[in-house]
C-alpha cells in the first residue's frame, strides 16, 4: 500500500529553525516533493529529492533517506509569511503521478 505520514501541526517562533518530518511507504518510488500551500491557495513547489542527502535552497533545505523512507524539510530564519501547510509528496516510478500527504500546518508566532 501507500502511506505518507507527517505531523498535523507545528508551531515555531519567528527567526527560529523548524524541521518538518515525513515518512513514507510506497511501491515504485521515484522521488519526493515538498510543496507549500497557504490557506485557501494552491500548492507551490519547494523542492524535489531523488538521491539521498541534503538539498539546500536559500532558507529551505530538504533531506531524503530512501532506505529509511524518510525525509525532512528544514526552514531557517522563520518569517511570519512561512505560516502555511507543507505537503510531503511521493512521485511514483514513471514520474508523473504524485501521492500527497495530508500536510503539516506550520504556525509562526512573533
Q: Which residues would be at the binding site for other proteins (CB under 8 A)?
A: 4, 8, 30-31, 33, 41-45, 48, 50, 87, 91, 95-103, 105
Q: Which is nearer to other proteins, 15 or 95 (CB)?
A: 95
Q: Hey, which bits of the chain come out as E strands?
A: 3-5, 9-13, 18-25, 29-37, 44-49, 53-57, 60-65, 70-75, 84-92, 98-100, 104-109
For residue 95, the minimal CB distance to other proteins (Å) is 5
Least separation in angstroms between residue 85's CB and other proteins is 8
Question: Least distance to other proteins from the beta carbon of 76, Å?
Answer: 23
Q: If we measure between CA atoms, which residue out of 22, 15, 16 comes closest to residue 46?
A: 22
Amino acid at each position: 500500500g501507500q502511506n505518507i505520514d507527517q505531523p498535523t501541526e507545528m508551531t515555531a517562533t519567528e527567526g527560529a529553525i523548524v524541521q518538518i518530518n515525513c515518512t513514507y511507504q510506497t511501491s515504485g518510488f521515484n522521488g519526493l516533493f515538498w510543496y507549500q500551500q497557504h490557506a485557501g491557495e494552491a500548492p507551490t513547489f519547494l523542492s524535489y529529492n531523488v538521491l539521498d542527502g541534503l538539498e539546500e535552497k536559500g532558507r529551505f533545505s530538504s533531506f531524503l533517506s530512501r532506505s529509511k523512507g524518510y525525509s525532512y524539510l528544514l526552514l531557517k530564519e522563520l518569517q511570519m509569511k512561512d505560516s502555511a501547510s507543507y505537503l510531503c509528496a511521493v512521485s511514483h516510478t514513471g514520474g508523473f503521478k504524485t501521492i500527497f500527504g495530508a500536510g503539516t500546518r506550520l504556525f509562526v508566532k512573533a
